[in-house]
Amino acid sequence: MTRSTHSIANTAQRASLGTAKRIVIKLGTQVVVDAEGRPALSRLYGLMETVAALRRRGAQPVLVSSGAVGLGARQLGIRPEGLPQKQACAAAGQGQLMSIYQEGFARMGLCAAQVLLTEDDFADPLRHANLRRTLDTLLELGAIPVLNENDTVSTLELERPSPGRRPIFSDNDHLSALVATHLEADLLVLLSDVSALHTRNPGLHADAEPLAEVPFGADPQARLEGTSGRGRGGMVSKVEAARAAARAGVPVVLASGLAIGILDQILAGDPVGTLFLAAPRGARP
């Protein structure tokens, strides 16, 4: 493929994102919570306006939202240390998190429906079937499902897995990829405080360049190791989740949720963030 043909193909791939109907949108902690640990209401309401517009035009958006632990930590006045404190923060913050979505979407004439998940919801066939039916029904009824791990009773996202044990999902990046795969979504959007996948860690290397896309089958070397101050995923987790969804045929856009109008830009086909191209139909598992 020549450079000009490749450029045309890229433009076509971007433009096709606007036709996505079932869209899973993951909001990272840094998007939900501001620098002081308070809910970033202006940013969240802007994102909810776009989600509501998607719903009104017939799309079926699904939110996977982090932020409960961060919001709970501020309410309880602690910096959580250890699993029990993190679970306590999750319990305190989850109600506030959902009230923001419920009140916000209600003002837009929509219903936000909370769905808290554990690994058993994916590992157990009966529970998985029930989950799929519930989500399908909520979408058919016009609701906006808002998903998160049930951190109060499930510890796998809050603690490091034991050596030799690979969890089904270890953070909301992987959870969103699972949800997108099992719902046969048309698009997964991962929004955090990172604008794109870069060739090197831009915080350490001035010559780091953003990658506009990652072809299917490529193995990008994500060098933004570690996690953010309040989030748990980190760039490595995001790339792993994106590649997992892409293998299942779901294109993924990794972009900054701090940018105004980011969802509108992605769905307009603008060259923002990094697009992980999905597996061709014959290459899907």
Q: Whats the size of the chain, residue-wise?
A: 285
What's the pLDDT at 201? 81
Q: Which helix (H) or strand (E) holds 64?
A: strand 60-65
Which letter does DSSP use for residue 258 in this model?
T
Q: Best-predicted range by mean pLDDT among 86-90, 189-193, 208-212?
A: 189-193
Would the pLDDT of 151 be above 90?
Answer: no
Q: Which two tokens stand for residue 83?
A: 């699993």
- φ/ψ of 23, rounded to 5, equals -125, 125
Per-chain mean pLDDT for the chain: 87
| Whole-angstrom distance, CA of residue 91 vs CA of residue 68 | 8
Question: Which of 216, 230, 145 shows the shortest CA–CA distance to 180?
Answer: 145
127-131, 138-142, 206-210: which range is least confident on average? Answer: 206-210
Would the pLDDT of 204 be above 70?
Answer: yes
| Whole-angstrom distance, CA of residue 245 vs CA of residue 251 | 7
Q: Which two tokens stand for residue 211?
A: 């990658």
Are 158 and 151 spatial neighbours (Cβ–Cβ below 8 Å)?
yes
Question: Which of 53, 43, 32 shows the shortest CA–CA distance to 108?
Answer: 53
What's the pLDDT at 203? 77
What's the pLDDT at 4? 39
Are 276 and 240 spatial neighbours (Cβ–Cβ below 8 Å)?
no
pLDDT, mean of residues 46-61: 97
Mind listing the pLDDT tens digit for each residue in 217-237? 887 754 444 444 444 557 888
What's the pLDDT at 170? 66
Sign of the Cα pseudo-torsion (103, 106, 108, 114, in order): positive
Are 253 and 238 spatial neighbours (Cβ–Cβ below 8 Å)?
no
- Alpha carbon distances (Å) from 151 to 28, 67, 119, 158: 15, 11, 11, 7
What's the pLDDT at 190? 98
Which amino acid would we find at residue 174? H
- Half-sphere exposure of residue 7, counting CA atoms within 13 Å on the CB side? 3
Q: Which residues contact 232 (CB under 8 A, 6 or more apart)?
A: 29, 66, 157, 158, 171, 172
What's the pLDDT at 232? 53
Q: How confident is the model at residue 281 (pLDDT cuts 50, 70, 90)?
A: low
Would the pLDDT of 163 be above 70?
Answer: no
Pick the CATH number of 3-194+225-283 from 3.40.1160.10, 3.40.80.10, 2.30.38.10, 3.40.50.720: 3.40.1160.10
User: How crowded is residue 238: how many other Cβ atoms within 10 Å of its Cβ?
Assistant: 27
Would the pLDDT of 150 be above 90?
Answer: no
Question: Which of 42, 89, 118 shows the shortest CA–CA distance to 230?
Answer: 89
What's the pLDDT at 169? 60
Q: Give the three-class secondary structure for 167.
A: coil
Mind listing the pLDDT tens digit for each residue in 111-136? 999 999 988 888 889 999 999 999 99
Would the pLDDT of 177 be above 80?
Answer: yes
The ranges assigned to domains in the chain are 3-194+225-283
What's the pLDDT at 41? 97
What's the pLDDT at 202? 82
Q: How confident is the model at residue 254 (pLDDT cuts 50, 70, 90)?
A: very high
pLDDT, mean of residues 267-273: 95
3-state DSSP percent of the chain in helix, strand and coil, to 5: 45, 15, 40
Q: How far apart are the first and last CA of the chain?
A: 26
Would the pLDDT of 265 be above 90?
Answer: yes
